[in-house]
A and B are shown apart, each in its own frame.
Chain A
Amino acid sequence: MLESSKESLKLEAMKRVVGLIAKGKNASELFPAVVKNVANKNLELKKLVYVYLVRYAEEQQDLALLSISTFQRALKDPNQLIRASALRVLSSIRVPIIVPIMMLAIKEAASDLSPYVRKTAAHAIQKLYSLDADQKDHLIEVIEKLLKDKSTLVAGSVVMAFEEVCPDRIDLIHRNYRKLCNLLMDVEEWGQVVIISMLTRYARTQFISPWKEMLRDTNSEKAFYESDEEKRKSAEETKPYAMDPDHRLLLRSTKPLLQSRNTAVVMSVAQLYWHLAPKHEVNIITKSLVRLLRSHREVQYIVLQNIATMSIQRKGMFEPFMKSFYVRSTDATHIKTLKLEILTNLANEANISTVLREFQTYVKSQDKAFAAATIQAIGRCATNISEITDTCLNGLVLLLSNRDETVVAESVVVIRKLLQTQPSEHSDIIKHMAKLFDNITVPMARASILWLIGEYCEHVPKIAPDVLRKMAKTFHNEEDIVKLQTVSLAAKLYLTNSKQTKLLTQYILNLGKYDQNYDIRDRTRFIRQLIVPSERGGALSKYARRILLAPKPAPVLQSAFKDRDRFQLGTLSHTLNSKATGYLELSDWPPMAPDQSVRNVEVAEAVSRSTLALRQPVGLEIDSDEGPKNGHSCEAGSRSGSGSGSSEESSSEASESDSESSSDSDSGTEQKKQSEAKPAQKVRRSSGDGLVSVCDRVCVCVCQQLSSPVFVPVHTYELLHRMTGKGLAAQYHFSRQPCIYDDRMISVQLTFSNNGDHTLENIHISEKTSAGQNIHCFSPIECLEPEKSVTVSMGVDFNDSTQAASFQLCIYLTHTRKISQSFNVSIQPAVGELLLPVTMSEQDFSKEQGNTHTHTHTHTHTHKCSPKHNFQTSSLKQSTFYSMWFLNPEILAQHNKPNIIRMIIAISVYVELCLGSQSVVK
């Protein structure tokens, strides 16, 4: 059928072949016939052939090579879906000969225009790496390139590739760190998981611990006894901890993801907070984790495991939610046991009575394994909380008369552990257990009782030899552990009460000597030598009493989750409690913060040089200082970081709001934006420099080429007061986004709110009165109900003048005879809103400076008016100005206006902003 000329027949045949593959049957002998169809036009047939190829190419390498040329052709296809799927298949064919072809294809695809193809390239990197690890260096280059990608589609996949290929090359992340944090919200959910776990590791190497102060608090007592000098030192160390703004950025950008519907995302955010957030902020993850318990059984299992680990360290986190961990009869056994574990961890003096009452019902459960686990849990509570030890012990003794064997056995074991802590007071319990001994058949329990009697034979001098006698009778029928304990019991009794038990002991030792199990024979031989010294000395026998009857420390009953926190939460290794292949250790916090400037993204070399030049003096200061460097460098970091922090904060907000608004627009513009985002991002980064904090306030208008994330002030201006507007109030603000209507327009956001009592209808702009100003109106608002508000955007071309744009705003007042009402309003642009931020290199700047005479003017003005900048003129000239926002020469050229006027406007803007005044300088 595959050879048939009819496509439908071929397709049918291929479907059957795929059916075979799915069932796991071998279909490899069809390879030659199938491979012929790889160039078929029918897409479905093609796909099925791909499936087949990927499955069998490894086995039939020579024949597989026949198909390669088809893929190479498809890689040039104009359809991005075909390009991508060709790359997918090509990279999935595990034939070593084609490695160079794959490498080439990946490199090409990494610079493809379509983000979908780039995403596929990121996947192909991992495949090639697993096929041929020698290509690592080349692949890292591609990864580095793709990490710079701004598309949310690519981000997750490339980070995945990074984790697989070069997880130790943390230096590649530095420059992309802030971008990744900001994009995180919009990345698809699977990518989010990967990025978050990578960033967790990254943050642990790059930021200093936010937990330090907490630790010091606990040590404060010790500090009291320290010598004065030490105290002084520690006082210096306790300088307030300031979180790196980038650290804060990470925490802030992941927080909303706790609300994700994807449980894996929620868990990864939870582990990020657990590992990175200051202690007092971790609590926000509790609710979300408890929510996950509503999900599928398997999800519950993993989440409960993680909660169990957390609840050991931080009881308080989950205590209010204790009822959520109550066991239901319908839960699976492993879920029940985990819940029990958590309840035990959470138990304290205050809630122990509730917990115990709950446990009491569990003991009666029909699921006996679970009942046994409950008894263990009771034992743990009893040791942890000394007030209830007696109550628990009594309860457990009562359980000894339970009908169920496992329950009794478990109680015996737990009682033994509890008794070890205070044996003398409980000889009656031991007597009671000796009485029960005949009825208990579970080996572990029998062994425990024997051990107890042996250990405390002085408390029960009469019963002990009797038990030994019984044991001698049944010795050969016992399990190995019971036999071992019998031998020990005999030895102990021989030492304490040899008169009564000498013969019995000898008898038992003889039985043990010929036992089938070599452990028992071994033990018997050893004991015999120890207690019945032979003629040839036996130096040890002198110490027999001290060896056998040494007081033994009580066992500590602790959680199985005690040490689990050495693994990163949420990982496979954590679940298994052992290191899985490919597990990446979470490093400890660095003692000193590494240079944070590595995360700054420079626009041009010049800027980076200037930043360095500026940083230098600060660094030198630290070095010359004799005090502990740690505190200082930290502080210096926060000082220089504060500027960038504030700008970062606002810009990230801006970008978020931007992405939100852009999701409203159609996908076409979105794509365009993504490609345009690059320059804008660069501009923003330059504001990361501490010195240009003024620039943050510089309100310079956004031109059309530059889009998205720039600083947007929230200041709004009044357009229409509610009194004049008959209940309608309008405000406007400049959104500083590229106007979608026209290149020359400035986009303005209007917010209408209805403060009246009646519904307003048909709000629209009736006529544009102002001459020469082009206004793009918003679409009429059909109705606006009382107490509601609505935001629309419009575009105004101010013609590069500060003249106000006036127009008429109309509404229908339905409640009064359906009369249309209109108001004259005007929008007054601040000069800054008309301008555009531009960064330029030092050379360009000096060129521009040379061009215009007035420019020197700018300098002087800025200095005089800026009280915050008491830098030397020269230093300012050298450094600050280069990274400053400046007028775009292109715009100037476009509008054919004299440069000088432009410059004056620029000066006035700077002056205005430095003074912080809103007055417009003419």
Chain B
Amino acid sequence: MIHSLFLINNAGDIFLEKHWKSVISRSVCDYFFEAQEKAMEPDNVPPVIRTPHHYLINIYRDKIFFVSVIQTEVPPLFVIEFLHRVAEMFQDYFGDCSEVAIKDNVVIVYELLEEMLDNGFPLATESNILKELIKPPTILRSMVNSITGSSNVGETLPTGQLSTVPWRRAGVKYTNNEAYFDVVEEIDAILDKSGTTVFAEIQGVIDACVKLSGMPDLTLSFMNPRLLDDVSFHPCVRFKRWESERVLSFIPPDGNFRLMSYHVNAQNLVAIPVYVRQNISFFESGSSGRLDITLGPKQTMGKTVECVVVTVHMPKVVLNANLTATQGNYTYDPVTKILVWDIGKLNQQKLPNLKGSLSLQSGAPKPEENPSLNIDLKIQQLAISGLKVNRLDMYGEKYKPFKGVKYVTKAGKFQTGKVVPKQSSRLLFDKTK
């Protein structure tokens, strides 16, 4: 299946290679570089590249390209999913998945990759199992190891590997037993210039941090499970129970994990927490333009909207921006042409406003497309869909755990100011005239 893996940084250096079968020369990456050059931006590199003898499947994550070499037919998603798992594992082990972190821990990375794949087929990808086999680096441990000479490598087969609950290791002990659940919802929306919703949906995840001793069996129930339209679960969740009773019953993995992700029924109207009044215009003469953006809270269910950031991808001809913000501050990067306005908390009384002029490249024709706004925001203690956790019960263990649920709403892909032409298709292309 997966033959080799190359890690390549943004500058085009191959800084790590690993082969699970016979060695493949790194010159195979030339095909990748070719594609990368053609694509201009890292995001545009095609995930699957064909070369005369191999196939390259790559992902781009945290400024690193994970390029895997394949020789025979394999579902591409299989490889892509695996590569993402590898990246997540690095993140889990080293705190972040960066070139520096990988280079610093190259031995552990190698040991990990060795355990994760055998002959190109995934062997152990559960973080709990791997952590028993190869202990994550900590300052204390590396100190102890250098003195005593003990190793980072587990000596016995992790118990999880053989059981039907491979995600949990046996003999977990905590003095404070606690289970926290974060319900995080994201609104994906496209609004048109007048603020009408073109498209909106809510996607949510429940991330859990469970630190419980022994083998607890948890049951999480919702006040309104009917809201959940489409769900996907961590393998620990018993699907039958969900089907019949709409409760999540599971033996949790130890530590942080994503319990489920869900999609909220699109038929329910999505509450849009903010409104935007925007006016960006470019003048035909004088190579300048005007920008005027105002934001205000809309349906926030009594909560404050925080961490509001507006990002605008300006057309290439915009050289600079001279603006004044009544709240927060803005930056304009003339190289990437990105305008970022960091507002912070949204105030009901005084609406934040950004106003001023844009200077354009002289002589260039005015941009035909008005840029759209991407908005980022956060609302604490609110799940915008109205989803509520009812209760959490624990079976199988005697102690009383400490439980907690937190709700957060964020903006996902929240885009406004899209120009949507008027109703009739007869008037197609009217704007271009």
Contacts and interface: CB of A to CB of B under 8 A. Distances in A.
A664 B199 contact: no
A663 B230 contact: no
Contacts of B43: 297, 332
A303 B420 CA distance: 27
Interface string B176-214: 000000000000001000000011010100000000000
8 contacts: A19-B107, A24-B14, A79-B156, A294-B263, A330-B374, A365-B369, A399-B432, A583-B73
Interface stretch (A186-194, A676-684, A880-888): A186-194
Contact of A120 (B118, B374, B426): B118
B16 A572 contact: no
Interface of A: 7-8, 11, 15, 18-19, 21-24, 42-45, 47-48, 50-51, 55, 58, 79-81, 84, 88, 91-92, 94, 114-116, 119-120, 123-124, 126-127, 130, 152-153, 157, 160, 185-186, 188-190, 193, 197, 256, 259-264, 266-268, 287-288, 290-291, 294, 296-299, 301-303, 323-324, 326, 328-330, 332-334, 352-353, 356-358, 360-361, 363-366, 388, 391-392, 394-396, 398-399, 401-403, 570-573, 575-576, 578, 580-584, 656-657, 659-660, 662-664, 666-667, 670-671
B238 A660 contact: yes
B290 interface: no
Given A130-B21, A363-B432, A670 B239 contact: no
A402 to B, nearest CB: 6
Q: Which of B82, B198, B429 has the most CB of A within 10 A?
A: B429
Given A48-B107, A267-B77, A352-B425, A364 B157 contact: no
A260 B368 CA distance: 44
A18 B432 contact: no
Given A334-B46, A366-B369, A662-B164, A356 B428 contact: yes
A656 B243 CA distance: 14
Given A18-B106, A323-B199, A296 B413 contact: no
B81 A263 contact: yes
A361 B418 contact: yes
Contact of A22 (B55, B110, B420): B110
A203 B297 CA distance: 56
Contact of A663 (B165, B234, B258, B423): B165
Contact of A575 (B76, B369, B418): B76
A609 to B, nearest CB: 37
B164 A186 contact: yes
Q: Which of B1, B121, B125, B229 has the most CB of A within 10 A?
A: B121
A213 to B, nearest CB: 29
A58 B433 CA distance: 69
B23 A8 contact: no
A363 B431 CA distance: 11
B199 to A, nearest CB: 5
A330 B41 CA distance: 12
Contacts of A43: 151, 153, 155
Nearest to B59: A298
B131 interface: no
Contact of A266 (B44, B201, B232, B413): B232
Contacts of A330: 374, 413, 415
Contact of B235 (A80, A119, A261, A303): A261
Given A352-B425, A660-B238, A193 B75 contact: yes
B18 interface: yes
A56 to B, nearest CB: 9
Given A22-B18, A259-B231, A571-B76, 17 more contacts: A44-B153, A189-B125, A193-B78, A264-B81, A267-B75, A294-B263, A328-B415, A356-B425, A363-B432, A364-B368, A364-B369, A394-B429, A395-B429, A570-B77, A572-B75, A663-B251, A670-B163
A662 to B, nearest CB: 7
A484 B374 CA distance: 48
A299 B233 contact: no
Given A356-B425, A363-B432, A570-B75, A302 B47 contact: yes
B149 A7 contact: yes
A261 B369 contact: no
Nearest to B87: A296
Given A22-B106, A120-B118, A332-B43, A671 B428 contact: no
A291 B263 CA distance: 8
A22 B109 contact: yes
Nearest to B80: A298
Given A11-B151, A666-B215, A572 B55 contact: yes
B373 to A, nearest CB: 10
B313 interface: yes
Contacts of B157: 79-81, 84, 114, 116
B136 interface: no
Contacts of B431: 360, 364
B73 A261 contact: no
Interface in B61-105: 61, 70-78, 80-82, 84
B161 interface: yes
B421 A302 contact: no
A443 B243 CA distance: 60
A395 B426 CA distance: 9
B261 A261 contact: yes
A323 B188 CA distance: 11
A323 B387 CA distance: 23
Nearest to A788: B393
A328 to B, nearest CB: 6
Interface string B265-295: 0000000000000000000000000000000
A80 B232 CA distance: 34
Contacts of A660: 238, 240
A23 B15 contact: yes
Given A43-B153, A189-B235, A296-B84, A51 B114 contact: yes
A19 B106 contact: yes
Contacts of B58: 298
A664 B367 CA distance: 63
A678 B46 CA distance: 48
B206 to A, nearest CB: 12
Interface string B132-166: 00000000000000100101110111010111111
B406 interface: no
Contacts of A268: 75, 77
Nearest to A56: B23
Contacts of B44: 332-334
B372 interface: yes
Contacts of A403: 365, 368
Contacts of A193: 75, 78
Contacts of A395: 428-429
Contacts of A188: 122, 166
Nearest to A331: B43
Contacts of B48: 301-302, 572, 575-576
B170 interface: yes
Nearest to B396: A664
A263 B77 contact: yes
Contacts of B217: 664
Nearest to B146: A8
Contacts of B251: 663-664
Nearest to A7: B149
B316 interface: yes
Contacts of A333: 39, 44
A662 B251 CA distance: 12
A290 to B, nearest CB: 8
B1 to A, nearest CB: 8
A511 B201 CA distance: 63
A11 B75 contact: no
B78 A264 contact: yes
Contact of B429 (A11, A84, A124, A360): A360
Contacts of A287: 229-230, 263
A153 B162 contact: yes
B72 A294 contact: no
A299 B77 contact: yes
B94 to A, nearest CB: 15
